[in-house]
Structure 1
Amino acid sequence: MVERKIIHIDMDAFFASVEQRDNPELRGKPVAVGYSEERGVVAAASYEARRYGVRSAMSSLKAKNLCPHLIFVPGRMSAYKAVSRQIHEIFHQYTDLIEPLSLDEAFLDVTGNKKGISLAVDIAVAIKKSIREELNLVASAGVSYNKFLAKIASDYRKPDGLCTIHPQQALDFISHLSIESFWGVGPVTAKKMHTLGIHNGEQLRLCTVEMLTRQFGKAGLMYYDFSRGIDLRPVEAVRIRKSVGCERTLEKDISLRSSVIIELYHVAVELVERLKQADFTGNTLTLKIKFHDFNQITRSSTQTNELKTLNEILPLAKQLLKEVEYSNHPIRLIGLSVSNPKELVDEKEEWEQLSFEFSDWSD
């Protein structure tokens, strides 16, 4: 079997870096893309801002408390998309096997690349150089024999990082990896791992597949494989759009039912418009609620009919809302998404990840 050569490219502080590039007055200063109002959220932060602890998805109020001289700039999604297309043009000089994860992140399979370059790290170096010279932006790159390790490697030496994990190094590298660094391990799963005595890759590798699947379901098998450096997922040049969603951060926390219903209506109207624009239908509706303390829950319902009109979506959304207790737990954010499409798109359709401005909705 031919050993795969996978590169993961991750643009460093992408939105903020584009703003600093296009506005010289912002260079070297702490910049946050987003809105500074009381209910605002940081969409991206420059590395100068990150030194103060400012992070994406943080409330603007907290960000300003951490960094009083933080400069907020409104986002320009059209500009970021245009730059992302330029980055992909550079990728295509080497391979057409490109799997975008977002506007600023992608996997490349360069096993059989267009230029016949034998070492993947040489391609990564060339791509980083082209991005810097042609676009005046900085990227980090990870190189390995599968997607899991390539992504881990790209995060290892940011910013402007380059890290290669060779097959003979993989197990030792994974052994010292914190469990929070594993793909698919969020705060809730990490906490559960810790209660089981699992804090790093070495401890995870000692677990049996039976134990992990019992504790984590299907994801347990993925953790079992990752701890052994196994990830057989291919780089998929075409991605199927799996959902369309939108959400609204409210100006004030609300708990009055009539107010919640009004906001739910507005989100449903926006969702219907986005479904129309995306020419997308699915039969699963998911309601997302984020409370005043930033805890969040989701509730879903799958129907036999496709969901595409307000008359189909709003009553179902109201039904899902009945499953949420918020009378003594004010709501900060409401989101809706439609997923589970009945028909797959044509395999030749070009895929572009849905990136709604300053939305932290996850598919």
Structure 2
Amino acid sequence: MSGEATILHADLDAFYASVEQRDDPRLRGRPVIVGGGVVLACSYEAKARGVRSAMGGRQARRLCPEAIVVPPRMAAYTAASRAVFEIFRHTTPLVEGLSIDEAFLDVGGLRRLVGPPAGIAAELRERVRRQVGLPITVGVARTKFLAKVASGVAKPDGLLVVEPDRELAFLHPLPVERLWGVGPVTAGRLRERGLRTVGQVARLDEPALVSLLGGGAGRHLHALAHNRDPRAVQVGRRRSSMGAQHALAREPHSPAELDAVLAGLVDRVTGRMRDARRTGRTVTLRLRFADYTRATRSHTLDKPTAQTAPLRAAARALLRAALPLIEQRGVTLLGVSVGNLDGGHTQLTLPFTAEPGPALDAAVDAVRDRFGSRALTRGVLLGRDPGVEMPRLPD
């Protein structure tokens, strides 16, 4: 690992709400809530009134009656994300996307060509603001963990560089919740022992943390409390599944509210799948209950797809089946993933059957002209490859 702070964690601020404020000048400077039944996102003006993502809509409106509630526009958010990631990739080829609105970037090899990491981060922020019209916060550090912590501390719309000689001085005064993997249950256990800051955790030896939290969690937190994180920025990793999740407030949620969250998650996942030219067959619903226990439910489709409708239908069926359990135990997190991903074929749909001859040859040429020549064959158009569907041809 480099001895210099060369890893950037770039995180768009209140992403969905910022896109809404960018696109509608009347919303700028005002509290904005995206999503009605459940808060999918909110502007910093709404956060200042206590509104939080995953909060129920009624509670959010009680906290901030003057908030403007807008429906989510996933296509707009996807387009903005693509534009920002183009800037990331223009900055460095070493980009590891974490979600639609955040990524790690490794700029360690750019000092001679471009300048120091702090200057690269400042230029990246300026380009995102100028070209995409959105605020973005960047943390810069020697490790991925600390870069992400730095961006969280610097929000909103900030830049924070943690130099190697002051890493622990920056990290140790922070609350234990800043450590990856410390949720309410783990934080409660630590606080019961009087451990409220990262520095207090760091002063415990590893066996003591293992005794308190278990082997994996104890070793993990001991390493992070000393900023030991050897992971490199990973580019082009081939995933076996793609997913998204959304935390929910502990209050009861209606089936309609949960369905709205689920639909947004499926939209997000299928958009990423199409961008990556991946298709999948197995839909998995992930649930975290109010007592912090978890459950998963899965369904495998007959054939792989990246289209939203069939995957959303499968996810909704899983959610409907789980509703009695949710009603009994409450739910604090909803997640969706699609697994059994293929090797990278794009799913397509053919609205006609064709026979060999000039008409079929013309159809092949038309499809290739529009979608490229990668793997369109007469056999596919004739339906001899049942695992691939073709695009609708232009009129």
TM class by shorter chain equals: 0.7 to 0.9
Distance 1:82 1:202, change over 3 A: same
How do 1:67-146 residues align onto structure 2 when only pairs under 5 Å count?
67-113=64-110, 116-146=113-143
The amino acid that maps onto 1:288 is: L
Distance 1:15 1:334, change over 3 A: closer
Mark the runs of 5 or more structure 2 residues left unpaired by the alignment: 304-313, 346-395
2:9: which partner in 1? Answer: 8
Residue 208 of structure 1, CA deviation: 2.0
- C-alpha deviations, 1:219-243, integer Å up to 9, x for none? 3222111111111111111244354
The amino acid that maps onto 1:223 is: L
Distance 1:95 1:309, change over 3 A: same
Structure 2 distance, partners of 1:88, 1:330, is: 37
The amino acid that maps onto 1:224 is: H
Q: CA RMSD in A?
A: 3.9
1:298: which partner in 2? Answer: 294
Aligned residue among 15, 36, 52 for 1:55: 52
Aligned residue among 208, 225, 228 for 1:227: 225
CA contact (8 A) 1:33 1:73 kept: yes
Distance 1:115 1:295, change over 3 A: farther
Residue 342 of structure 1, CA deviation: 9.0
Aligned residue among 37, 41, 47 for 2:38: 41
CA contact (8 A) 2:176 2:195 kept: yes
- C-alpha deviations, 1:181-204, integer Å up to 9, x for none? 111211121112212332111111
- C-alpha deviations, 1:233-258, integer Å up to 9, x for none? 1111124435456899998469xxxx
Distance 1:166 1:251, change over 3 A: closer
The amino acid that maps onto 1:232 is: P
- C-alpha deviations, 1:323-363, integer Å up to 9, x for none? x8678557799766565x598879xxxxxxxxxxxxxxxxx
Structure 1 distance, partners of 2:253, 2:176, is: 36
1:358: which partner in 2? Answer: none
2:372: which partner in 1? Answer: none
1:175: which partner in 2? Answer: 172
Q: Please state if 1:27 is matched with 2:28.
A: yes
Structure 2 distance, partners of 1:238, 1:67, is: 42
Structure 1 distance, partners of 2:326, 2:75, is: 36
Structure 1 distance, partners of 2:121, 2:157, is: 12
Secondary structure at 1:18 match in 2: helix
TM-score normalised according to structure 2 size: 0.68
Structure 2 distance, partners of 1:7, 1:90, is: 13
Structure 2 distance, partners of 1:186, 1:20, is: 31
- C-alpha deviations, 1:34-92, integer Å up to 9, x for none? 12xxxx10011011111111111111000000001111111111111111111111112
Secondary structure at 2:90 match in 1: coil
The amino acid that maps onto 2:26 is: E
Which has the larger helix fraction? 2
Secondary structure at 1:108 match in 2: strand
Residue 216 of structure 1, CA deviation: 3.3
The amino acid that maps onto 1:279 is: T
Secondary structure at 2:98 match in 1: strand
Structure 2 distance, partners of 1:208, 1:300, is: 35
Secondary structure at 1:93 match in 2: helix
Distance 1:21 1:326, change over 3 A: closer
Of residues 58-67 and 176-185 in structure 1, the stretch that sits farther from structure 2 once superposed is 176-185
CA contact (8 A) 1:253 1:332 kept: no
Distance 1:85 1:328, change over 3 A: closer
How many matched pairs? 316
CA contact (8 A) 1:8 1:151 kept: yes
Structure 1 distance, partners of 2:239, 2:109, is: 27
CA contact (8 A) 1:94 1:115 kept: no
The amino acid that maps onto 1:122 is: G
Residue 20 of structure 1, CA deviation: 0.7
Secondary structure at 2:137 match in 1: strand
Of residues 91-100 and 54-63 in structure 1, the stretch that sits farther from structure 2 once superposed is 91-100
Q: Please state if 1:149 is matched with 2:146.
A: yes
1:207: which partner in 2? Answer: 204
Q: Percent identity?
A: 36
TM-score normalised according to structure 1 size: 0.74
Larger gyration radius, structure 1 or structure 2 = 2
1:258: which partner in 2? Answer: none
CA contact (8 A) 1:286 1:338 kept: no
2:379: which partner in 1? Answer: none
- C-alpha deviations, 1:138-183, integer Å up to 9, x for none? 1111001010110111111211111111111011112101101111
Structure 1 distance, partners of 2:255, 2:76, is: 32
CA contact (8 A) 1:288 1:296 kept: no
Secondary structure at 1:79 match in 2: helix
1:189: which partner in 2? Answer: 186
CA contact (8 A) 2:279 2:342 kept: no
